[in-house]
Amino acid sequence: MSQPAEGVATQFATIAIVGVGLIGGSLAAAIKRRSLARTVIGVGRDAVRMAKARERGLIDEAATHLGQAAASSDMLIFCTPVDRIVSQVREAAAACRSGTLVTDAGSVKGTICAGLASGLPAGVGFVGSHPLAGSEKQGFEYADAELFQGRVCVVTPLPASPRQAIDRVRRFWEGVGSTVLEMSPEDHDRALAATSHVPHVVAAALAAILDADKAPLAASGFRDATRIAAGDPELWSAILLANRDSILSSLQNYEHSLRKFHEALAARDAQRLKELLLAAKSKRDGLVAERN
């Protein structure tokens, strides 16, 4: 009998998801719904939470010992906070079989990819990933097998990354429905500073000044503009610190942009204000329509 050709279906015998929150839980659900692996192991420190994820059918096996899970998996995906990924990958890699593929779902790539550029056992390949999907919600209770469908996933190889490992990671993300963009970790971090990390700071700074007595007058505009500020402070402080330099640079651009609006308003310069608002509207209108 011939082996089945490697296609989208059942790319892996066993995938371990390390960190089963919103992203990890959604990935587990997506893998199972699309039959990308025969077995999905969920790895987490809290045995009770992991048992619940298993009861829900998100994962096939629950593990609290990273090394054991790593030893029996063909692929590991780290969905843990960005400041923990490097040390966890190192710990897991020591137990991995040769040929095991390792990636992550962290929102910052430079520090993670640089931290894993060398020193992993031969035969264990790490290629960073960042699926641009998520929510201000937390926990696998909000897991959604279609979270990655139609979304962009950025894959960030290093110059030394073997093409085969990059392609296997790409195929995995395509398998859960995403469109893959490949770029360097540094380009990723500069772009995400502008499109995600600075917007988070901007939204949080805005939410922070809402007086309780004015809350009844906060309508959909305020709610939209501050929605991301409901994200987990622990996760987000780690993201901001891990991409500090790009964020500070992008934040300076933003402050300069804000200053232009401030000055036009202070000067009662209607023409200038309209120009600034029109330029902003054109940029916003240029974004392609969202999926629902």
- What residues numbered 169-198 form the site for a copy of itself, per CB under 8 A? 181, 188, 191-192, 194-196, 198
Site for a copy of itself in 44-73 (CB under 8 A): none
Residue 279 neighbours by CB under 8 Å, 6+ apart: none
CB of 25 to a copy of itself, least distance (A): 18
Residue span binding a copy of itself (CB under 8 A) among the ranges 12-20, 48-56, 62-70, 264-272: 264-272
In whole angstroms, how close is the CB of 201 to a copy of itself at the nearest point?
A: 5
Q: Minimum distance between the CB of residue 92 and a copy of itself, rounded to whole angstroms? A: 25
Residue 88 CA, distance from chain mean position: 17
Q: Which of residues 195-224 bind a copy of itself (CB under 8 A)?
A: 195-196, 198-224
CA 161 – CA 172 distance, rounded (Å)? 16
Based on CB atoms, which residue is closest to a copy of itself, 67 or 199? Answer: 199
Token pair listed for 57: 């059918």
d(Cα 23, Cα 28) in Å, to the nearest integer? 9
| Pairing relationship of beta strands 128-131 and 152-156 according to DSSP bridges | antiparallel
Instruction: Identify the bridge partners of residue 154 per DSSP, sorted by sequence position.
Output: 130, 181
Query: CB 87 → a copy of itself: shortest distance, Å?
Result: 17
**Which residue lies nearer to a copy of itself by CB, 140 or 236?**
236
Binding to a copy of itself, residues 127-156 (CB under 8 A):
132-135, 151-152, 154
43 interacts with a copy of itself by CB under 8 A: no
Residue 239: closest CA among 112, 124, 147: 112
Number of residues that bind a copy of itself (CB under 8 A): 87
The distance from CA 4 to its chain's CA centroid, rounded to whole angstroms, is 32
Give alpha helix (H) positions in 118-243.
163-175, 185-192, 198-207, 220-226, 233-242
Residue 251 touches a copy of itself, criterion: CB under 8 A: yes
Q: In this structure, which amino acid lies at residue 168?
A: R
- Is residue 102 close enough to count as binding a copy of itself by CB under 8 A? no
